[in-house]
Amino acid sequence: MNVYLYRHGETHFNTKGIVQGRGVDSSLNETGKQQAAAFFDSYKDVKFNLIITSTLKRTIETVEPFEQLNIPIERRTELDEIGWGIYEGKPVNKEMRSAYLGLIRSWGEGNYTNCLQNGDSALQMGERLGSFAGYLKTLKCDDILICTHGGCMAFLLAILQDQPLSEMINYKHQNTGLCLFNFDGNKFHLRIQDDISHLDKIKNHKII
């Protein structure tokens, strides 16, 4: 089974440095729609058996071009972005950046129960995305397309490769950046990480 895992397209919040997270249900901006269209143009000939997104609009809108192909689509809450608590919907400032960097550093050191106020911990993310990884292993498909969020992708890359959650800090993802995994019936093998070559079709594109 091949698993095509990609991040949603750009949103207005991305360009303005506003924190999104699980509690902010933003839509794609025009650049994001162009990115989604470019991704579709590059991968429309893959015979996807199933498409899976989070329940948030920015992933649902990113896969919209594929709807014309009548591929079954699932929405799963496990793929919703990390909850950033009290900082969601607010512009990034010095206080927030310091808190965020401190949190990511603590996760890298294995302190998985740490979180921002009212936000998700690495342990919580690991539990729900670990559950999703288990679900993936039950699917009888040749090719699956999954659209989720940058934070979720970072955790999923660690989880699918049986790495500790602390490894999530090493994975960064651009808008519509693609990761490709092959599942051999036992383990997931990463073949491609954060590929944005499809965006070469968009002149003067800006990557966030």
Q: Report pLDDT digits (tens) over 18-27.
A: 889 998 999 9
Residue-range definition of the domain harbouring residue 157:
2-201
Task: With cut-offs at 50, 70 and 90, classify the pLDDT of residue 158.
Answer: very high
For residue 208, tell me if it sits in a domain.
Answer: no
Instruction: Report percent pLDDT > 70 for the chain.
Output: 97
Q: Reply yes or no on whether the pLDDT at 117 is more than 70.
A: yes
Q: Which residues pair with 6 in a beta bridge?
A: 147, 178
**Quick one: tokens of 122?**
């690495």
Supply the CATH number for residue 137's domain: 3.40.50.1240
- 3 phi and psi angles, rounded to 5 deg: -115, 115
Q: In sequence order, what are the residues at sequence separation of 6 or more whose Cβ sits closer than 8 angstroms to the Cβ of residue 202?
A: 31, 34, 35, 38
Give the pLDDT band of residue 89 (cuts 50, 70, 90).
Answer: confident
**H or E element in which residue 145 lies:** strand 143-148
Q: Give CA–CA dist 205/7, Å, rounded.
A: 16
Bridge-partner residues for 188, per DSSP?
Answer: 183
**Is it the case that residue 114 has pLDDT exceeding 50?**
yes
Query: For the chain, how many structural domains are there in total?
Result: 1
Give φ, ψ of 19 to 5 degrees.
Answer: -70, 130
Per-residue pLDDT, averaged over 99-104, amounts to 92
The answer to whether the CB of 1 falls within 8 A of the CB of 180 is no
Q: What is the pLDDT of residue 203?
A: 63
Q: For residue range 21-60, what is the model confidence (pLDDT) as tens digits?
A: 998 999 999 999 999 999 999 999 999 999 999 999 999 9
> Residue 121: what pLDDT?
96
Q: What is the pTM of this model?
A: 0.93
Q: Which residue has the tokens 């998700």?
A: 120
Instruction: Please report whether residue 207 resides in a domain.
Output: no
Q: Which residues on adjacent β-strands are paired with residue 38? A: none
* Residue 206 located in a structural domain: no
Check residue 204 and give its pLDDT: 54
Specify if 95 maps to a domain. yes
Distance of CA 78 to the CA centre of its chain: 11
Which SS3 state, helix, strand or coil, does residue 172 take?
A: coil
Give DSSP secondary structure letters for 154-185.
HHHHHHHTT--GGGGGG----TT-EEEEEE-S
pLDDT at 208: 41
* Any domain includes 72: yes
User: Do residues 39 and 176 lie in contact, with contact meaning Cβ atoms separated by under 8 Å?
Assistant: yes
What is the model's pLDDT at position 29? Answer: 96
